[in-house]
Amino acid sequence: MADTSQTIRNFYSIAAAADFSRDFLFRVGALRTPRLVLGEEELVYVRTAALPGRNIANIEVKYMGLSFNTPGGVTYPNSGAYSLEFYCDQGSTLRERLIEESRATFDDATSTGEYNTAGPDSYIVLYQLDKQLSPVTKYTLHGASIRDVSEISYEISDGTGAYKTFTTTFAYHYFTNEFPPDAAAGGGANAFPNIR
């Protein structure tokens, strides 16, 4: 008999109880800067996004030829380039609002702008969802500010009527996460009872 309980049958039992996160069970809940507020009507156009990662630097301490690995400071990979892909609405209203935000941040026509350090009133809220679309985890990206609004390529002669998308890139300082988002939220916290 194997010394592990990680067998096919146990995998089946646990997977049936805890299930799996699916690639569409995710929403951007809010996007706010001092000059731009995107709510549900705009954020329904988010096509793809990603949950951010967190990295603790490894510091090597050497002694007599042996390296000891100790934890160092934290970094947030891709915090300088967090991208959201949007469907482009017919009037390009959403993209133009993001372009306006980009110009307000820095306007090359006047060489001026509000390129201040983004404060607590600038953030992006992300939710992982369960199958009832209830949040199981909430991520808040603090200090969000715009960096890039991508081009859109059109195929005038060979077009098929396909929808168009564009990507907007933001930077943020750090993120916080709530698991579960609040005491009233159900879901993920009870899936693995030994995880606190």
Q: What is the pLDDT of residue 5?
A: 84
The pLDDT tens digits of the residues spanning 10-26 come to 999 999 999 999 999 99
3-state per-residue secondary structure call for the chain: CCCCCCCHHHHHHHHHHHCCCCCCCEEEEEEECCCCEECHHHHCCEEECCCCCCEEEEEEEEECCEEEEEEEEEECCCCCCEEEEEECCCCCHHHHHHHHHHHHHCECCCCECCCCCCCCCCEEEEEEECCCCCEEEEEEEECCEEEEECCCCCCCCCCCCCCCEEEEEEECCEEEEECCCCCCCCCHHHCCCCCC
Mean pLDDT of 46-54: 96
Pick the more confident residue, 183 or 165: 165
The answer, as to whether pTM is greater than 0.85, is yes
> What integer pLDDT is reported at residue 61 of this predicted model?
97
| Domain residue extents for the chain | 25-190
User: Average pLDDT of 70-91?
Assistant: 97
- What fold characterizes domain 25-190? Pnp Oxidase; Chain A (2.30.110)
Reported as a single tens digit per residue, the pLDDT across 138-179 is 999 999 999 999 999 999 999 999 999 999 999 999 999 999
